Amino acid sequence: MSGAQKLVRLLVGGAEVARYVIDPALDARHGPRPYLHPVRTLGGTVVTDALPADHVWHLGASLAVQDVDGTNLWGGRTYVRDVGYTWRDDHGVIAHTGEVERSPARYGHDLEWRDRAGGVLLTERRWLSASVVGLDAWRLDVESVLVAPDDREVRLGSPATNGRPGGAGYGGFFWRAVADGEPEVFTADAAGEETVNGSAAPWLALTGVRSGGGAYTLVFAGLGPDDRWFVRTGMYPGVCVAFAFDRPAVVPAGGSRHGRYRVWVADGILDRGRVAALVAAVRDSAGGPGQRERSVSSRTASW
């Protein structure tokens, strides 16, 4: 860990592919939380954006939810039913509380999802790992275990579940991409924002071009049983594993929510065949990077 902002650098073959900001110094209205930025292809093309002018609270790649039992852990205005987006004093923070594991290609830590008064809504253990998958691609794995307090369930919501129309079910593992011009997005059998937004396809790809000739492809996988893809390409480039796309998600009292999100980061524009081959090449082992820690009871919120 290094730097005033507590940075973790993820390396692949000795080359830095991502920086993970553990404790960002941000305005509370921006939803302070750990985030990955910049993330780069092996060729050096940056594929994340952070603090963009159009949505300042978009922070590279991060876990963020706009409504966690009434607390905004996404940043920006809160969508209020029958009112619309409103600035409210309801912003919390997702705070790093301790390191679990660290190596050049892997990092694990504990976090607390807190309301504006500092009360703990959820505890989390999170792992990030980077691995090479070819000459022009590497893969990011993010594994998360969210645990609710023993005495109450925790509701995860979105603007959509709070009444906003138009498929605005964002909130979960969110990736704010960056591209010059509108990127392309597709799944195995569909293409375009309007078609793939809200879908439950096993994987989703986004391709973009940067000024200077850098082109990239991002391939996302990891939807849970009730998750959906939230996708934007016209207004801005972004992809989210959405926890509450059209109905709230609930973490039961004393229970947990497990998620494992994979992102292949590749140089160049890949077609459906090459994307499918990347995804098919993954053979899951008996467990992810956090399997050892999962043997600890998920009811122990303090780990």
Model pLDDT, residue 282: 82
Digit-coded pLDDT (tens) for 79-136 = 999 999 999 999 999 999 999 999 999 999 999 999 999 999 999 999 999 999 988 9
How far is Cα 39 from Cα 41, in angstroms, rounded to an integer?
Answer: 7
pLDDT band at 17 (very low <50, low <70, confident <90, very high): very high
* Res. 1: pLDDT tops 70: no
The whole-number average pLDDT for the span 153-174 is 97
Residue 2 has pLDDT above 90, yes or no: no
What the chain holds in terms of domains, given with CATH numbers, is: 7-284 (2.70.98)
175-to-117, 162, 237 alpha-carbon distances in Å: 28, 22, 9
Q: What is the mean pLDDT of residues 185-198?
A: 98
Q: What is the pLDDT of residue 97?
A: 98
Task: Please say whether the beta carbons of 113 and 91 come within 8 A.
Answer: no
What is the structure's pLDDT at 288?
46
